[in-house]
Chains A and B, each alone.
Chain A
């Protein structure tokens, strides 16, 4: 039960980044594999401000979110935007390399060891016998819910949301009607990075993070978004929580490698059913 609750809490943290991943994909068509680095960065920067600079927790987390958003905004506007209309291959390699570089930088500047953010929220309370729960579980799930609902409200009820939807539908047409598409995409990237950094800060309150966690976290974020259908914010949210909670439960029974293989199998299964990925000649033969 303890593992399931820990998985739910970590899943909620990863869900925030997965929703951000889906948001960028929906608006700009960018597969941003660097979100894992913003997630790890969020955790490590929160730790640095909280434990090293002795700032209050809320201030530390807010600064981590602000730094993540600012970096993502600049990178989107100056670097990723260059790849507009280029093959998606460049986009994947670039964002993955950016993620690797940013986590490397975090390792050099802050710490390459595992770090966690100490908080009263992770204090365990005994409910019945040996069954324990921390406040972090409901808080992280509520926070993830509020953030996701907030993003959906912004996209559906505000002028900025309308502009983002216009860019998502047809970037050229949106630009012709006066929407600054690059700026809209950069703001969405900043929003997604902020969500990932917030997720990372919450995650680091329950489990330690290091710059080496980048790959594993990226795997969970991308898998949740892809299995969730790459386009539905709510599905990404629920799949992320479900995947991480399932992984946490399975870790009691099987090695982590097996969990990754299960995720891979799930992803291939979902993609094979949802998208046109089967070779054409096979379809023709059937006909």
Chain B
């Protein structure tokens, strides 16, 4: 179990030269983040928390959501509305945004998690676009027509507005919470079921894992983290703008971070977030388009690097569509530690169906 916690996935399988490049990139990233500490620490912790949220559904479960930013935006709007219109405290507003995130994840997840592969990715993309358009419309009909602006000065303010350092500490707490959540999930039976779903969903169902419940639960858990981070970000931004809160760059950045660091690992996203934050800091003074290019380039490199570290299978294996789930003895032996019924079912073969 301890090995799981320190497993950096594909990074452990790289050659020495690649490891040296990875180490150099990380060191450079740390230096950039430290030099520009004031502005970049908040961003670093925010990205760690968000990428851990994606890591739960994409990295551990293998369901590549491209719409995680919807929960982030939803959390921001709910927190903003709770503070501004319902005069709730920041903490209560945050808890409320987490609850709203769960409800939305269940509502969206129950139908969408029936889809697999590209269909799920595209459906989540559509869902996030729908949420963006809905909030753009809501913003346009609110008084003033320019969305929500949280009152942070004057007599009508609800609570003291934290300093930059204060927000960095809140993001740090969220990043720690998100990382601890992933660590707990990885070490639990629940996490074992999720990894089984990732390797072969049919086999997972075959061995008694309630795949739908597992998938919806982890989707909701990832939504809670994203909504909490969104809530804090919304409060920090003061003026809530749908274009910023539902920015597709954020969705793809979460994926890039996890791919660079190692999908399904606990500490990988922290390394990935360091690299992405440093790269974004270098172009911080440029337009959003330049930041899109940076995030896209890192994602492309991350995908190619990870794909190269896993050579294509020479024959059908459990992970490839259409493969015989009972044909890989190593996979079954590994998974049967978590799900003892698996070995028994595999021996029975199709007769048990």
Taking Cβ atoms with an 8 Å cutoff, the residues of A that contact B are: 31, 33, 79, 82-94, 96-98, 100-108, 112, 211-212, 214-216, 218-219, 222-223, 226, 255-261, 263-264, 267-268, 271-272, 275, 277-282, 284
Q: List 26 A-B contacts (CB under 8 A).
A: A83-B304, A90-B306, A93-B66, A93-B303, A94-B300, A98-B300, A101-B297, A104-B289, A107-B288, A108-B293, A112-B287, A223-B126, A226-B122, A255-B134, A257-B130, A257-B135, A257-B136, A258-B134, A267-B122, A268-B111, A268-B114, A275-B119, A278-B114, A280-B211, A281-B205, A282-B212
Q: Are B289 and A257 in contact (CB under 8 A)?
A: no
Question: Is B281 an interface residue, CB under 8 A from the partner?
Answer: no
Any chain A CB within 8 A of the CB of B295?
yes
Given contacts A82-B308, A88-B117, A284-B353, contact A219 B64 (CB under 8 A): no
| Distance, CA A257 to CA B288, complexed state (A) | 24
**Which of B156-164, B252-260, B339-347 is found at the contact surface with chain A?**
B252-260
Q: How far is the CB of B67 from chain A (nearest CB, A)?
A: 10
User: What residues of chain A lie closer than 8 Å to B134, measured between beta carbons?
Assistant: 255, 257-258, 261
| A59 vs B330: C-alpha distance when bound (angstroms) | 60
A214 and B300 CA atoms in complex are apart in Å by: 18
Question: Smallest CB-CB separation from B134: which chain A residue?
Answer: A257
Q: Nearest Cβ in chain B — how far from A101, in angstroms?
A: 3
Nearest CB on A from B142, distance (A): 13
**Cβ contact within 8 Å between A256 and B289:** no
Residues of A within 8 A of B115 (CB): 268, 271, 277
| Contact of B312 (CB < 8 Å), options: A86, A212, A277 | A86
Whether a CB of chain A sits under 8 angstroms from the CB of B116 is: yes
Scan residues 281-326 of chain B and give those whose CB is less than 8 A from a CB of chain A.
Answer: 287-293, 295-297, 299-300, 303-304, 306-308, 310, 312-313, 319
- Report A-chain residues with C-beta under 8 Å of the C-beta of B307: 82-83, 86, 90
In the complex, what residues of B have CB within 8 A of residue A222's CB? 122, 125
| B residues less than 8 Å from A86 (CB atoms) | 307, 310, 312
Q: How far is the CA of A256 from the CA of B130 in the complex (A)?
A: 8
Distance A270 CA – B259 CA, assembled complex (angstroms): 31
Q: A93-B259, A277-B116, A279-B211 are in contact. Are A218 and B125 (CB under 8 A)?
A: yes
Is B166 on the interface with A (CB-CB < 8 A)?
Answer: no
**In the complex, what residues of B have CB within 8 A of residue A226's CB?**
119, 122
What's the minimum C-beta distance from B19 to chain A, rounded to whole angstroms? 21
B131 within 8 A of A: yes
B319, A87: Cβ atoms closer than 8 Å: yes
B202 within 8 Å of A (CB atoms): yes
Shortest C-beta distance, A42 to chain B (Å), equals 18
CA distance A84 to B252 in the complex (A): 21
Tell me whether B118 is interfacial, beta carbon within 8 Å: yes
Partner of A101, one of B121, B296, B306: B296
Contact of B293 among A105, A212, A272 (CB under 8 A): A105
The interface residues of chain B lying within 8 Å CB-to-CB of A257 are 130-137
Tell me if A215 and B129 are in contact (CB < 8 A): yes
Q: Is the CB of B123 within 8 A of A219?
A: no
Give the one of B126, B134, B137, B293 with max A CB within 10 A: B126
Question: Taking the complex as formed, is B206 at the interface, i.e. its CB lies under 8 A from any CB of chain A?
Answer: yes
Q: B99 interface residue, CB < 8 Å from A?
A: no
Q: Which residue of B lies closest to A97 (CB)?
A: B299
Q: Do residues B62 and A260 form an inter-chain contact, with CB atoms below 8 A?
A: no
How would residues 84 to 120 of chain B score, 1 for a CB under 8 Å from any chain A CB and 0 otherwise? Answer: 0000000000000000000000000001101111110
Min CB–CB distance A87 → chain B (angstroms): 7
The answer to whether B299 and A94 touch across the interface, beta carbons within 8 angstroms, is yes
Contacts of B58 in A (CB 8 A): 89
CA distance A112 to B310 in the complex (A): 38
Q: Check if B127 is an interface residue, CB within 8 A of chain A.
A: yes
Q: Do A281 and B289 touch across chains, with their CB atoms under 8 A apart? A: no
Smallest Cβ distance from A114 to chain B, in angstroms? 14
Q: Contacts A215-B129, A267-B123 hold; do A281 and B300 have CB atoms under 8 A apart?
A: no
What is the bound-complex CA distance between A181 and B118, given in angstroms?
Answer: 23
When the two chains form their complex, are residues A260 and B130 in contact, meaning their CB atoms are under 8 A apart?
yes
Closest CB of chain A to B110's CB: distance in Å? 10
Contact of B133 with A271 in the complex, beta carbons under 8 Å: no
Query: Are B296 and A216 touching (Cβ within 8 A)?
Result: no
Q: Give Cα A255–Cα B307 distance, bound, in whole angstroms.
A: 41
CB distance from A251 to the nearest CB of B (A): 11
Are B304 and A82 within 8 A (Cβ)? yes
- On whether the beta carbons of A97 and B118 are closer than 8 Å, the reply is no
Is B248 at the interface (CB under 8 A from chain A)? Answer: yes
Known contacts A83-B303, A271-B119, A280-B202; is-contact A215 B296 (Cβ 8 Å): no
CA distance A280 to B289 in the complex (A): 43
B210 within 8 A of A: yes
